[in-house]
Every structure is written in structure tokens, then in C-alpha cells.
Amino acid sequence: MTGTTDAIRVLHVDDASDVADLTATALEREDDRIEVITALDAESALETLASRAIDCIVSDYEMPGQDGIAFLNVVRERDGDIPFILFTGKGSEVIASDAIAAGVTDYLQKRGGMDQYTLLANRIQNAVESARHRRTNGEHERRLEMLIHVLPGIVYRCRTQSPWQMENVAGDCETLTGYAAAALETDTVGWETDIVHPDDREAAVQDIEDALEAGRQFDVTYRILMMDGDTKWVRERGGRDCTGRIPGERLEGFITDITEQKKRERALRETQDRFDLVMQSAELGVWDWMVQTDEITINEQWATMLGYSLEELEPTLSTWESRVHPDDLPRVWETLNEHLAGETDYYESDQRMLTKSGDWKWIRDIGTVVERGDDGTPIRATGIHLDISERRRHEEALRELHSIATDRTRYDTETAICERTIEAAETILEFDLCVINLEEDGMLPITALSKGVPPDGATTMAVDEGIVGKTYRSDESFLFDDVQTVERANPQGPYRGAISVPIGDYGVFQVVSEEVGHFDEDDRELAELLVEHTVQAFDRLTAEAELKQQNEQLNEFASVVSHDLRNPLNVAQGRLELAAEECDSDQLPHIDRALDRMATLIDDVLTLAREGVAVTDLVTVELAATLDKSWQYVETGDATLVMEMTHAIQADEGRLQQLFENLIRNAIDHGGPDVTITAGDLDTGFYVEDDGPGIPPNQREAVFEAGYSTSTNGTGFGLRIVKQIVDAHGWAIEATDGQEGGARFEITAVEIVD
């Protein structure tokens, strides 16, 4: 951009407003032709350049956002010729080098005093005058020189009368034609008569003459014959020389090799032909979108996916949008726009689309931009539609099957579990005819079946009979297209397609259909997953039964211990009291302490036995309230309790209280009667710690073993009982250092209740 002949309009960019004002004042005083426009950053400067004619730019280097070099790069992309002077207080060889590489016109470092503005004004005047001179006097030569060096072809000057004798030829003539430039300049070889292809000669000459007669530039394409006889496609552009520098009329132009472009155009046409063929015959839904006009072409399969014929659909962008589910459309457009902007290699999205019948069908859309303009603007995109409804149904079924895994833990009989399995098969997998046979004394009687199975459609079979027996014995699932063709299948009705899946050692699950080939591998996979959850439910019942038996045995043991050990102990304690009344012996206190220790051991052993029973009934328990209750049941003396607990958890309240009591006793036994005990929350549980002597690192695992104790009064069962209670809940416990150096016990993996 340039200003008037006399005026010099300068755009000064500097983020320091006081410096900018001073510079403007000084420059306008130095030369009254200079008009300074100020910008405080590169962004506002670019806005000024877009709206006003500027003769020269003067820019600082250090500025917020873009620095001076970055600003110069942007300016050069827009206008490679406008004078640009870097006027900066930060001087270095690196900055100067970068500025020169970016195409700076001049580089001037700021100094003190007003003389610098005289120098700057002089540099501005010289730069603007040079630029104006280049534009007014050297434009023609510059364009020719640029064409010669840049274009893969030739630049020429010739007479305007046919046969257009060449007077000057520059560029790579031999590569283009096989002839030396001198051969054309001496008329040894004529461009029109010897090089232009005979079949294209008349049309090319006529087009050029018509353009010259109309006073406009010409632009023609034609074939040429090289010296070796090969053929090339070229593009010739030019017009009359109106400079008047050479007497007579002359024609100037340039000729470039466009053979590769023609090959690409032919390949594009062939691609289009193949695409049109695919559009007619593909089993996939195929679409082609002209992005600028929103014109869309689809094939028959695209329409069929939605239940239409091709004639019923108007293939426009708005038609497509109206059929995409409203909840999916924003996400689809976001993905598509990212690809159109060049941010992704291809476009892919899953969306629900409305069918002719009013249902929603899941469609996967995959496409890519196949043609862009020179500026990257998308021109044409193409892609395919896939019907993924069955795949989505399969995925949804998988999610729902996983969700019912915990649901079946609520059922406490095998029959209830089987009935829930049948229900899930019907509602989630859409299996209408299902039956479950559970093994009993070598037979496989029916335990549960779908409502659609008639009474005579299933029967009890032996473990060595039919498909059900084969499935049970082999512990392998089977998929049959037609059970009528399977030897020894013994179907109980007009059934053809079938899936048979073993339920571990418990029995067999089967689903059947009256249609041949009704089921596929996806159906078998879903059936196997359903049955896997059924097996887990059966295993849970078995484990709970075994656990119940173990609990009963432990309770029986505790009762025996309580009866058979406490009675003799009580007798011994009573006799000791009588003996103390009848005689005075220094041996009696030793006996009394021994009997007390035996009583404590019996209590701990009984507690240990009871706490080994797994927890089955959990309730919501407030940690602080339970700890407070435990504190009341322990002889705490001068000990101090600091509670920092807010959690509520799922636990057996009685056992949790026992855990707290044992940890409190342990702290007092080892930390002394005035110990301070602190209890608080953890992200996944809670902790109890004291300020006593602590536990050496090499003993922190051993403290949970039965009989381990460092106290003369301890039984060694206190922390073992704590560990038993933790394990019975499925928690974890770790002994570590307290904040005051004492012992700290962290209980984690606890179910916190919000």
C-alpha cells in the first residue's frame, strides 16, 4: 500500500505510549511530509494496515503478544514490498539476523537524544523513495525476472503478427521443448510452425488473436511437440507490450509445462467415474458432498438404510440434518467442522437417524475431504454410511448384562437366580424361548423356562442325553443353525436354531428359535456372558452356605470353650477365696494373678473365634459415635481421646466397637496411663494413633500375629482380634508411625457413606 506522491504515511508500532507520542512528534517535525499513525501492539497495527494506505512501517521489537519479528513475518505474508524499519532498544546480532532473514528493510537501534529521530526520518525517506521507484520504473523488469526464475517454463517477447517470430526467450527452454532458446530467437525453429501441435495449432492461434483484438490478456492451453517427438501440455498467458520501449507492436508472455496437471485432471476424472460406479453398485451407503453449494449425491443403499427409495429422498444438507437425532447433531457438526478445518485426517461419527417408519437407527458416518482450494478451503467431501444398529444393540446388551451382575446377589435360592437369568435373556438379549436345566443325581431337570415355551417344549434329560447332556459333560457352548440336522439332538419341538451354554458344574442354559440360522456368534457371546454372571451367583450361594456352616462350627466351639473352661476356672477362683480366709500364704497372690490371666486368655480366645466369622449384615455406622461408646467401656485412667472423625461407614457396629476397644487398650498398655489417643478420617477409611513409644518397622507385621505382645500384662491377642475384624469386613490395616512418633493404625478399603 502507498500514500500520495508527496506525503509519507508512517505506521509506528510501540507498546510504550509516551515513546510513541515522542516519536510521532519528532518525525513530523523533521519532515512535514511525514504523517505518523500510532499503534500500541501488532494486532491493532494489522487492523490499521487492512483499512488505510501506509507507505512505511516503523516497529519496536519487544511488545506484548507478537514481537517485532513475528509482526514483520505477518506483514511480509500480506505485502512483500512495503518498507519495514525495526526501531528497537533491544539490539543484538541474533535479532538483526532474524530481521534480515524475515525481510526487514532497515534496522535501527534506539539511542538517547533527538538526533536518532533525524536519522530515523532519513531512513524512512530513503526506504519510501526506493519502494516508489521500484513500483513506478522497475515493475515490468521485476515481473519478467520473477517469472523467469520462478516459473518452470519460458518468458518471451515476439511480434504480434503470425507466425509470431520470437525476439527474446528466457528461462529453461531446453527442458520445456528440447530446443535451445537461440533456435527460437533466430527463427531456426518456429514456435507456431514447428512446436505447437498440428491438431491444436489453429484453435490456439485463433484464441490468442481474438484476445489481442479485444484488447485483453490471453490464456490458452495446447499441446506441443518436443524435439524428440514427445508431447507435452502447456499453458500460455500474455498480452501486448504497451510500454512503448520498443518500436512496433510486441507480444509478451510466458509458457509453462502443465503436463502433470493434465495427468492429475485425467486421474480425477477417472476417480469420479469409479466413484459414480461405486455409487451405483456399493452395498454401503455412499455420499458425495459439494461443500460450497451443499449439493449432495447419495446411492440407493444410503436411502435403503433409512427405509426409503432413492426417489423419495431429496439429497440436501438440510434433509440430512433433519434426520439426525437432535441430541446427536451438535456433536456430529463439531466433529465434521474439525475435519473441514483440517484438524483431523478424516471424519467419523456415530449418530441416530430417523427411518421412514419413525424409528431411530444407529449409523456410522465416515468421510474425508477429497478436494480443497489453494487456500485450503474444502470443496468436495465423500464418505460412507454403515448401519451399526446391531453392533450398538450388542454393546448396549453387554452394558446391561454387566449391570445385572450385582442385581443377582439379592437372590438367595438357585430357582430365583435361574428365573432372573431367564428374565434378563428375554428383556436384554431378546431371546424369546429359553430354558435352564440344573443337574440333580445324574439328571438335568427343568428349573426355569420362558413363558413362550409350551409345556411339552422341554423335558428332563439325563446328563448323557441330547445336546443338553453334551453341553453339560463337555463344559463347552454350542451354536447350531439347525438342530434338526444334528445327530442325537432330540429337540423337544419345532425348533431349528439353538444356543447351548454350560452353567459351570450346575447345569445348562439353552435358547432356541423356530428359524434356521437365527443366531450368530454375537448372540452366543452374549449368552455366555449372561451365564457367566449366573455361575457367579451360584458360586456366591455355595460360598455363603459353606460360610454359614463354618460360622456355626465356630459358634459351637465358642460355646464349648465358654462352658468347659470357664466352669473349672470359676471353681478355682472360688476355692482360692476360701483358702485365703483359712490361711495366710504369700503364694496365694501369685495364684490369683495366674487365674486372672487365664480368664483374660479365655475371653480373648472366645473373641478371636467369634470375630473370625465373616461379616454379612452391614449397617451405616457413625465412626465418632461408635468410638465414643468404646471409650466408655475401657478403663482409660488419665488417657486423653482426640476425635477428628466425620465419616459414616458400612460396618457391623458390634465388631467395629470391639476393634476400637482393642486399639484403645493397646495404646494404654504400651503408651502408659496418660497416653493421648487421636482418631480421624482417611479418604478411604480411618486411623487411630497414640503418642507412645511406637512400633519398630521390623515388627509392624508381627504385631498382628496371635500371641505376639511386648507388654508383660498382654495376651498377644488384642491386635490379632483387630486384624480378624478388619479381614471379616474386607478392609485392610497397616501399622505405621504416628504424627507424634507413636503407633498409628490405618484402616482402609472401607465403604464410606456420604
pLDDT tens, residue by residue, 251-266: 878 788 888 878 777 7
Residues of the chain above pLDDT 70, percent: 83
Angstrom CA distances, 417 to 411, 424, 526, 681, 737, stand at: 6, 11, 18, 39, 48
pLDDT band at 283 (very low <50, low <70, confident <90, very high): low
Q: DSSP characters for 54-67? A: -SEEEE-SS-SSS-
Strand partners, 510: 435, 500
End-to-end CA separation in angstroms for the chain: 69
State the residue for C-alpha cell 450388542: 394
Q: What is the rounded average pLDDT of the residues 225-250?
A: 75
pLDDT of 710 reads 55
pLDDT band at 731 (very low <50, low <70, confident <90, very high): very high
CATH 3.30.565.10 domain range(s) in the chain: 610-753
Residue-wise pLDDT for 536-546, tens only, equals: 888 888 877 77
Q: What is the rounded average pLDDT of the residues 111-115?
A: 79
pLDDT band at 246 (very low <50, low <70, confident <90, very high): very low
Phi, psi dihedrals of residue 287, rounded to the nearest 5°: -135, 155
pLDDT band at 324 (very low <50, low <70, confident <90, very high): very high
pLDDT band at 325 (very low <50, low <70, confident <90, very high): very high
With 50 as the cut, is the pLDDT of residue 697 above it? yes
Residue-wise pLDDT for 119-134, tens only, equals: 899 989 988 888 887 7
Contact criterion met (CB below 8 Å) for 234 and 256: yes
Q: Is the peptide bond before 589 cis (omega within 30 degrees of 0)?
A: no
pLDDT of 244 reads 47
pLDDT of 282 reads 47
Task: Please tell me the CATH code under which domain 610-753 is placed.
Answer: 3.30.565.10
CA gap 747, 688 in Å, rounded = 9
Q: Would you tell me how many other CB atoms lie within 10 Å of the CB of residue 53? A: 11
The torsion of the CA quartet 442, 443, 444, 447, rounded to 10 degrees, works out to -110
CA gap 357, 614 in Å, rounded = 56
Q: How many residues does the chain have?
A: 754
CATH 3.40.50.2300 domain range(s) in the chain: 8-137
Q: Which amino acid is present at 154?
A: I
Q: What is the rounded average pLDDT of the residues 224-242?
A: 86
Residue-wise pLDDT for 419-455, tens only, equals: 888 888 887 778 889 999 999 999 999 889 888 887 6
DSSP class of residue 712 equals: T
CA gap 379, 369 in Å, rounded = 8
Assigned C-alpha cell, 155? 518468458
pLDDT band at 530 (very low <50, low <70, confident <90, very high): confident
pLDDT band at 332 (very low <50, low <70, confident <90, very high): very high
pLDDT of 279 reads 45
With 60 as the cut, is the pLDDT of residue 685 above it? yes
CATH 3.30.450.40 domain range(s) in the chain: 395-545
With 80 as the cut, is the pLDDT of residue 355 above it? yes
Helices (DSSP H) in 294-328: which residue ranges? 300-305, 317-323
Residue-wise pLDDT for 600-629, tens only, equals: 666 666 665 555 556 667 899 999 999 998
**Torsion sign over Cα 186, 190, 194, 197:** positive
pLDDT of 742 reads 92
Describe the strand order of the beta sheet including 743-748 as a list of residue ranges.
Answer: 640-644, 676-682, 685-690, 743-748, 732-737
Which range has the worst mean pLDDT, 6-20, 92-106, 292-306, 597-611?
Answer: 597-611
- Element spanning 571, H or E: helix 521-582
For the chain, give the mean pLDDT: 82
Q: Would you tell me how many other CB atoms lie within 10 Å of the CB of residue 657? A: 19
**Cα–chain-centroid distance for residue 197?**
58
Q: How many helices (H) and strands (E) does the chain have?
A: 21, 30
CA gap 203, 232 in Å, rounded = 17
Strand partners, 434: 511
Phi, psi dihedrals of residue 157, rounded to the nearest 5°: -130, 135
Q: Which amino acid is present at 109?
A: Q
CA gap 448, 446 in Å, rounded = 6
Contact criterion met (CB below 8 Å) for 655 and 725: yes
Contact criterion met (CB below 8 Å) for 736 and 683: no
Task: Please tell me the CATH code under which domain 264-387 is placed.
Answer: 3.30.450.20
pLDDT band at 242 (very low <50, low <70, confident <90, very high): low
pLDDT of 156 reads 83
CATH 3.30.450.20 domain range(s) in the chain: 142-257, 264-387
Q: Which residue would you say has higher pLDDT here, 109 or 680?
A: 680
CATH of 395-545, one of 3.10.129.10, 3.40.50.720, 2.130.10.10, 3.30.450.40: 3.30.450.40
Contact criterion met (CB below 8 Å) for 57 and 131: no
Task: Please tell me the CATH code under which domain 142-257 is placed.
Answer: 3.30.450.20
CA gap 582, 577 in Å, rounded = 9
Residue-wise pLDDT for 32-91, tens only, equals: 899 999 999 999 999 999 888 899 999 988 888 888 889 999 998 887 789 999 888 766
Per-state percent for the chain, helix, strand, coil, to nearest 5: 45, 25, 30
Tell me whether strands 56-59 and 8-13 are parallel, antiparallel or unpaired: parallel
Helices (DSSP H) in 583-717: which residue ranges? 588-611, 623-632, 653-671
pLDDT of 1 reads 36
pLDDT of 280 reads 47
- Element spanning 228, H or E: none
pLDDT of 718 reads 77
With 90 as the cut, is the pLDDT of residue 281 above it? no
Q: What is the rounded average pLDDT of the residues 709-730?
A: 74
Q: What is the rounded average pLDDT of the residues 231-245?
A: 75
- Element spanning 40, H or E: none
Residue-wise pLDDT for 468-513, tens only, equals: 999 999 999 999 999 888 877 777 678 889 999 999 999 999 999 9
Which range has the worst mean pLDDT, 167-171, 377-381, 660-664?
Answer: 167-171
Task: Please tell me the CATH code under which domain 8-137 is placed.
Answer: 3.40.50.2300
CA gap 24, 14 in Å, rounded = 11
List, in order, residues 6 or more apart from 750 with CB less than 8 Å away.
647, 649, 650, 651, 684, 685, 686, 729, 731
Residue-wise pLDDT for 157-200, tens only, equals: 887 776 777 888 887 888 889 999 888 888 889 898 899 999 99
Q: What is the rounded average pLDDT of the residues 366-371?
A: 88
Residue 166: which of 244, 238, 230, 222 has the closest Cα? 238
Q: Is the peptide bond before 163 cis (omega within 30 degrees of 0)?
A: yes
Residue 511: which of 519, 474, 465, 484 has the closest Cα? 519
List, in order, residues 6 or more apart from 341 with CB less than 8 Å away.
none
Residue 230: which of 268, 259, 203 has the closest Cα? 259
CA gap 228, 372 in Å, rounded = 37
